Chain A
Amino acid sequence: MSTRYFGQRIKRNEDVRMLTGQALHVDDVNFTDMLHVAFYRSRDAHGYIKDIDVSAAQEREGVVAVYTAEDLGDYWQPGPLLVPPPPTIEGLIFHQRTQVPLAKDKVRFVGEPIVMVVAESRYIAEDAVGDIWVEVEALPAVIDIEQALNEDMPTIHDDLDSNMAAHVVQKKGNYEAAVQQADLVIKRKLKYDRGTAAAMENRGIVAQWDAKSQKLTVWDTTQAPIVIRNGLAAMLGLSEHQVRVIAPFIGGGFGPKIMMFYQEEVLLPWASMKLNRPLKWIEDRQENFFATTQERGQVHEAELALTNDGRILGLKHNFIHDGGAYIPYGLTIPLNSQANALGPYATPNYYSEFKVAFTNKPIVTPYRGAGRQHGVFVIERLLDLAAKQLDLSPIEIRRRNFIQPEAFPYNHEIIFQDFAPLVFDSGNYEPALDMAIEMIGYEQFIKEEQPRLRAEGKKVGIGVAAYVEGTGIGPYEGARITVEASGKVSVASGIGTQGQGHFTSFAQIVADQLGVDVRNVYLVTGDTDQFHWGAGTFASRGAVVAGNAIHSAAVEVRKKILKLASEKLEAAEEDLELADGQVRVKGVPETAIKLGSLAVMANPLRGAVRPGTEPGLEATSYFGPESGTTASGVHALIVEVDPETMKVEVKKYVVVHDCGKVINPLILDGQIHGGVAQGLGNAFYEQLHFDENGQLLNASFMDYLLPTALDVPRMEIGHVETLSPLNPLGIKGAGEAGAIPAAPVFVQAVENALGDDAPEILEIPLSPNRLFELVFGE
């Protein structure tokens, strides 16, 4: 196989469409008889619904229907559990409580939908929402995750005796024994607070029931259209072939768009069938702060046992994870935290225990990083503190603990979120560390620049942190590839696309196999009528799982091309080559047959397709990895802290990343840039502030501070390629890497900048205000 495209920094096929407004988004879908939906959402975080009066709303001109939970009848059901807890963890406790379409007796978070209004326009629908009266007998809100588990707290789910949603213990070796041998034990409490993904495009749904064709079409900003289709068909009593879910272009997913099912996803298709009219609901930014899932609240009591020379003997942590009001996504996030606290380090003894707490806050599901941040923050901070105590450099302590290249596959002996044992398939960590140190200029900074700038009164500091990212988990994805009569190649796959560059990186894989121009590979994705097997886009798995399925289908099509061409050209397959959209005998250009012509020959109008063969140059393949593949990397940065205002400026940011074979470095850089922007946002700008009543105090972009293009630093990116043995392309996922270690590396640098009287920083997010409090006292 020639690798003309694989590994090339080529521009993205989809950008012209996206930049010129030719890419379909859900809100672009319009029908003349379409109705619009708005929701009355709970204003209380916790309470019993005593009365709902919708009469004034029903009477408003232009209102077509008003629905409460009562009106849903048997259709009112708690949502499915997306990911059950791993069956193999002993002693695991899990109380499944999932969201309901419309709150019935009780409300459990501010923003929970109670009434659905359908009207001729969104304006009228919102006016009608203002007409609705809901009486709620308020209960004390459960907000603080540590207090949530106290016995005297009111329970959010009345049938449970506490707010504990889950309890899990995982162990490796014997931590207590390790402590006996330790020279040093570092114990700290570390906190991580909530943020929101804030995708540029909010969620949206258009549902169209067509009574005449008995078909339901749903345009949905979901990351997993196939699962939505199958679920909707089951809920609505339809055949899967009667339901088509289209996830068109989506302006950012980041995880929260793979929550099955959002209340609106259940309600709109149902109401469209009932009213026999197309319905549209587009989430507005204010709703997004309540109605879309969030993440990141955890509190860890952690300890690290080490020898005098900085070798890790064991790690122990006990943490509480903020589950929000319902836990449809099972234990994915805390299991990720558990796995990632081990980092890229050889940790012989491990004890990790967590509880998930129900709180009266929006639902928690994975958001880019999905619990990995917390684990990485814990281990990286503990290592920093240990290094200080042992008088080692932060770099040396990491180097001494890295899993060595010959130790792979490395079994951590605990269970990962995909139910498989946590085994790192491959890795080589020191080259990335060395490259990062080199790129950031570590030695020179410490020896020359920092002393010089300090002498000028400047507070500058440097940080270096390492991480791993479990990526590319199963179950499987598939693809169908067809050579068309025009010579164009179409690829249909089931995963949704939210800006990752699938139209290009997947095309690169196919173009190399079939010897065609990358611009002639046309990808259809996220339309269940085109391809209806697969799971979705999440957990940095698109390139790994769908990419390898596409690769495998392309290999099959290539075989068909060679077979047929060898017959037509009366030449051995080994003597043929595929290039320039043609197949030909090597060195004999006159023999060339265009792939389009060959496709026509494979689909003859006369003559028979012989038994055992199929018409066309087409193949469908699937790829299901046994387990995930582990990407890794090192981030390094230099900051300057203004000692008077505690504002922090990032002077330089370096990422060295290892995701195996890189398909397109340009796209990979983009993934990393976006991830770092979100990671820095998480570290220093973004925080959801809930008051003690569960009211969100900053539900707008005025007060929820996303770093803008003016605030995100330039990044320098280096690559190391350690191929994954788990898939033919040798690739690993990259979607979350940018975001994962940004917080610990930022904190390490800020502490370093503040010098000897730096406070210990054990929490995220920070802000100038919070840094001021930490340095000068509250």
Chain B
Amino acid sequence: MKPPPFEYFAPTTLDDALDYMADYGDEAKPLAGGQSLIPTMNFRLAQPEVLVDLNGLAELAYIRPAAGGGVSIGAMTRQRSVERSPLVAEQAPLIHETMPYIAHPQIRNRGTFGGNLAHTDPASELPAVATALNARFRAQSRSGQRWLTADEFFVDLFTTALEPEELLVEIVIPPLPAQTGYAFREISRRHGDYALVGVAATVTLDNNGRCEAARLVYLSVGDKPVEAVQATAALIGQKLTAEAIDDAAEIAAAQDIDPPGDIHASVTYRRHLAKVLAKQVLAKATARAKQE
């Protein structure tokens, strides 16, 4: 379990890092916290010829209020810093609530917010949560920058819309609309494991207490975050009673997702968990929306 030989660069400015990315393109991989990349290299599943280490880029490690509200998080911010940030807790409470589900504290100390999203593991919590929150992603290369929505950013299994010479540099989480509640839950085998199924929800109520908008985004049921659009469509305009939520959960599990089966969870078990979790998060998000 040793990686094959590779070249290693440790730039200290973003510009230098982007130069390396431009020069080596396809052959290079950026190294963030290394919690996913290094094991893949040791298993020889990834064999990049060049590593561009981003750990010297202090300019990419920050959490600050975003221009139009919400919060901006630099790609190299450690997961543990996000978890402990009062600003994140206030502006993006769903992210705050989800962070402890990611691995263990030791891993969150090294692993970065941007690295987790760029890795796009379908079993990762953050891509699903970022989707539910309409996060926006800033990609940068030597020739410029562009903004992507979550739908645009997450393309496929371990695949983002980033070009080989681009880096993810910043993620912006917009504020939740008024009268909006949120919740996250997952089932994993052991503490700290990747989820068998997980789901993030947001629910917005109108002034009559009916559902104005809702998002229900799953992890571990497909190649990327999977949004249960039919389930949430069924909720719009409804009073969110236990029955309404049960029905939506049923639709989500039966129609919106097409989960895989593996040694840890069969298709049937995953669907079952998807239903159980949907009920829980929709109920909790609704309760929170009512308190708003």
Contacts and interface: CB of A to CB of B under 8 A. Distances in A.
Q: Do A and B bind each other?
A: yes
Interface of A: 122-123, 126-127, 130, 284-286, 644-645, 647, 685, 687, 689, 697-698, 700, 702-703, 705, 707-708, 710-711, 767-769, 772-773, 776, 778
Central interface residue in B1, B5, B263, B266, by most chain A CB within 10 Å: B263
Where chain B touches its partner, the secondary structure class is loop
B190 A127 contact: no
Interface string B186-226: 01011111101000000000000000000000000000000
Nearest to B270: A769
A130 B4 contact: yes
A130 B44 CA distance: 10
B263 A689 contact: yes
Nearest to A646: B269
A284 B1 contact: yes
Contact of A769 (B3, B193, B264): B264
A767 B189 CA distance: 8
B179 to A, nearest CB: 29
Where chain A touches its partner, the secondary structure class is loop
Interface string B1-26: 11111000000000000000000000
Given A644-B276, A708-B191, A698 B263 contact: yes
A645 B191 contact: no
Contacts of B264: 703, 767, 769
Nearest to B44: A130
24 contacts: A123-B2, A126-B4, A130-B4, A284-B1, A285-B1, A286-B1, A645-B273, A645-B276, A685-B190, A687-B263, A689-B263, A697-B263, A703-B264, A705-B193, A708-B191, A708-B192, A710-B191, A711-B191, A768-B187, A768-B196, A769-B266, A769-B269, A772-B272, A778-B268
B276 A772 contact: no
Contacts of B272: 772, 776
Contacts of A767: 189, 264
Contact of B269 (A126, A127, A773): A773
B263 A703 contact: yes
B189 A710 contact: no
A711 B190 contact: yes
A705 B189 contact: yes
Contacts of B263: 687, 689, 697-698, 703
Nearest to A700: B43
B190 A710 contact: yes
B161 interface: no
Given A126-B1, A708-B191, A767-B264, 14 more contacts: A122-B2, A123-B3, A123-B4, A126-B4, A127-B5, A284-B1, A285-B1, A645-B273, A645-B276, A702-B194, A710-B190, A769-B265, A769-B266, A778-B268
A659 B189 CA distance: 34
Contacts of A685: 189-190
A702 B104 CA distance: 13
Nearest to B279: A644
A647 B196 CA distance: 12
A769 B272 CA distance: 10
Interface string B254-283: 000000000111101100110010000000
Interface residues of B, number: 24
Contacts of B269: 768-769, 772-773
Nearest to A703: B263
B283 to A, nearest CB: 13
B157 to A, nearest CB: 16
B59 to A, nearest CB: 33
Contacts of B276: 644-645
B1 A123 contact: no
B191 A286 contact: no
Nearest to A706: B190
A123 B5 contact: yes
Contacts of B2: 122-123, 126
A52 B189 CA distance: 42
Which 7 residue pairs across A and B have the least CB separation, nearest first? A710-B191, A284-B1, A689-B263, A644-B276, A123-B2, A772-B269, A126-B2
A710 B190 CA distance: 8
Interface string B79-91: 0000000000000
B198 to A, nearest CB: 12
A644 to B, nearest CB: 5
Contacts of B194: 702
Contact of B4 (A127, A647, A702): A127
A703 to B, nearest CB: 7
Nearest to A644: B276
A707 B191 CA distance: 9
Contacts of B44: 130
Nearest to A125: B2
A645 B1 contact: no
A707 B268 CA distance: 25
B47 to A, nearest CB: 10
A738 to B, nearest CB: 20
Contacts of A698: 263
Contact of A710 (B43, B192, B266, B273): B192
A702 B192 CA distance: 11
Contacts of B187: 645, 647, 768
A91 to B, nearest CB: 40
A703 B187 CA distance: 15
A776 B271 CA distance: 13
A716 B150 CA distance: 50
Contacts of A645: 187, 273, 276
A645 to B, nearest CB: 5
A710 B268 CA distance: 28
Contacts of A778: 266, 268
B190 A707 contact: yes
B193 to A, nearest CB: 7
B70 to A, nearest CB: 33
Contacts of B4: 123, 126-127, 130
Contact of A708 (B3, B190, B273): B190
Central interface residue in A644, A687, A776, by most chain B CB within 10 Å: A644
Nearest to B197: A645
Contacts of A644: 276
A536 B193 CA distance: 38
A460 B118 CA distance: 43
Contact of B43 (A122, A286, A647): A286
Interface in B24-50: 43-44
Central interface residue in A126, A689, A707, by most chain B CB within 10 Å: A126
A768 B187 CA distance: 10
B201 to A, nearest CB: 17
Central interface residue in B1, B5, B194, B276, by most chain A CB within 10 Å: B1
A286 to B, nearest CB: 6
Nearest to B280: A644
Contacts of A711: 190-191
Nearest to A122: B2
Contacts of B190: 685, 705, 707-708, 710-711
Contacts of B265: 769
A769 B187 CA distance: 11
